[in-house]
Amino acid sequence: MTISFDLTGKTAIVTGANTGLGQGIAIALAGAGATVALVGRSSMMDTEAAIAAIGGQSHSINADLSSIAPVGDIISETVRLSGSADILVNNAGIIKRADSLDFTEADWDAVMDVNLKTVFFLSQAFARHLVAENKPGKIINIASLLSFQGGIRIPSYTASKSGLAGLTRLLACEWAGKGINVNAIAPGYFDTNNTEALRNDPERNAAILARIPAGHWGKPEEIGGAAVFLASAASNYIHGTVLPVDGGWLAR
């Protein structure tokens, strides 16, 4: 049996692909041969340019994922532009920081809507497309170390990422028999916009680095290999897993 990570002929949808982890994942998938639909509410020009530089193919779909309104259009537009939709990476997410005693309902709802509600309904729309076409597919959710741990000052983020781990397992149980693999990646501490406040805090930055066995914050390109693996035929018998990519953080 030949094990293949080749994604030639596949189309991947990556949400939040304008920067950070989404950008790193999109470039990696394109490097493995996939056409990538870049989804987000801000410009994806930098990601498009990086994909073009390696000879890849991509197109952008503007969508605000703070509500479920655009989910159907994301699938239909991807199919219209690329001819298929085979892989979905639910990467888009937001974070709000405040002490739990002071956390507001608005901040709670905003995070839960983007990080959990829209992820479910976009996954549902994607799976409905696959079932209607009678073809297999891959869903990769971007969870977090906070799917396993509590964290501090990010109650809605921790709740959403813990919920996403559970949702990953539930959807895997329901959809594995339909040929749809649902798995998740749990990134550790990566150098992205979401962690800027931590990296700019000398004490928190030092404490985090001291616990990472690899000795450095993750770089967005360091998550791409896991995404390619879970998107490829090499992972066909993997369902419902949450794969940490954390520099050894959870092993500490």
Q: Is 157 a catalytic residue?
A: yes
- In angstroms, what CA-CA distances link 159 with 49, 96, 111, 131, 156? 35, 12, 9, 30, 5
Does residue 1 lie within any of the structural domains? no
Does residue 109 lie within any of the structural domains? yes
Q: What is the pLDDT of residues 164-221, one digit of tens each?
A: 999 999 999 999 999 999 999 999 999 988 788 889 999 999 999 999 999 999 999 9
Q: Which residues of 24-56 are buried (b: 16+ CB within 10 A; e: fewer)?
A: bbbbbbbbbbbbbbbbbeeebeebbebbeeeeb
Under DSSP, is residue 248 helix (H, G, I), strand (E, B) or coil? coil
User: What is the per-residue pLDDT for 8?
Assistant: 98
- Choice among 120, 126, 157, 229 that is catalytic: 157
Does residue 33 lie within any of the structural domains? yes
Residue 47 is given by DSSP the state: H
81 in Cβ contact with 126 (< 8 Å): no
CA nearest neighbour of 171 among 251, 94, 239:
239
Does residue 196 lie within any of the structural domains? yes
Instruction: State which residues of the chain have pLDDT below 70.
Output: 1
**Domain tally, the chain:** 1
Does residue 6 lie within any of the structural domains? no
The Cα–Cα gap between 139 and 125 comes to 12
Domain that includes residue 48, residue range:
11-244
The enclosing domain of 152 has a CATH number of 3.40.50.720
The Cα–Cα gap between 22 and 92 comes to 7
The Cα–Cα gap between 160 and 99 comes to 17
Secondary structure E strands in 8-147:
11-15, 35-40, 57-62, 87-90, 137-142
pTM over 0.95? The answer is: yes
